[in-house]
Amino acid sequence: MPAKSAAPNGNAPILEVRDLKTYFFTEDGVVKAVDGVDFYVKHGEVLGLVGESGCGKSVTSLSILRLIDRPGEIVGGEVFFEGENLLDRPLDSMVDIRGDRISMIFQQPKSSLNPVFKVGSQIVEVFQIHDEKMDKAVAWEKAVALLKRVGIPDPESKAHAYPHQLSGGQAQRVMIAMAMALQPELLIADEPTTALDVTIQAQILDLIRELNHETNTAVILITHDLGVIAEMADRVAVMYAGQIVEEVSVEGLFKNGLHPYTQGLIKSIPVLGSVQEQLNTIPGSVPNLIDLPAGCRFASRCPARVEHGLSICEEHMPNLLEVAPGHEVRCWLYEDAAGHTAPLKPGKGKKKK
Residues in 230-289 at the binding interface with other proteins, rule: CB under 8 A:
230-233, 250-251, 253-254, 264-266, 268-273, 275-286, 289
Nearer to other proteins, 12 or 284 (CB): 284
Residues 6+ apart with CB under 8 A from 205: 193, 228, 231, 232
Alpha-carbon dihedral of residues 189, 322, 315, 283, nearest 10 degrees?
50
CB of 267 to other proteins, least distance (A): 8
Nearer to other proteins, 101 or 224 (CB): 224
User: Binders of other proteins: how many residues, by CB under 8 A?
Assistant: 71
Positions 67 through 126 that interact with other proteins (CB under 8 A): 71-72
Residues 6+ apart with CB under 8 A from 33: 22, 23, 24, 56, 59, 72, 242, 289
CB of 152 to other proteins, least distance (A): 11
| CA distance linking residue 245 with residue 238, whole number of Å | 6
87, 77 contact by CB (below 8 A)? yes
Nearer to other proteins, 77 or 257 (CB): 257
Sheet architecture: strand order including 29-41: 29-41, 15-26, 72-81, 84-85
Alpha helix positions (H), the chain: 57-64, 109-112, 119-130, 136-149, 155-158, 168-180, 198-215, 226-232, 250-256, 260-268, 303-308
CB of 276 to other proteins, least distance (A): 7
Looking only at the bridges linking them, the beta strands covering 218-223 and 235-240 are unpaired
164, 115 contact by CB (below 8 A)? yes
CB of 226 to other proteins, least distance (A): 4
Positions 303 through 332 that interact with other proteins (CB under 8 A): 303, 306-307
Q: Tell me: does residue 58 bind other proteins (CB under 8 A).
A: yes
Nearer to other proteins, 94 or 266 (CB): 266
Nearer to other proteins, 127 or 240 (CB): 240
Radius of gyration of the chain measured on its C-alpha atoms: 22
Interface region with other proteins, contact rule CB under 8 A, candidates 96-104, 138-146, 300-308, 310-318: 300-308
| CA distance linking residue 286 with residue 309, whole number of Å | 21
Positions 15 through 44 that interact with other proteins (CB under 8 A): 24, 26-29, 31, 33
Nearer to other proteins, 180 or 289 (CB): 289
206, 210, 294, 352: residue in contact with other proteins (rule CB under 8 A): 206
Interface region with other proteins, contact rule CB under 8 A, candidates 37-45, 84-92, 208-216, 298-306: 298-306
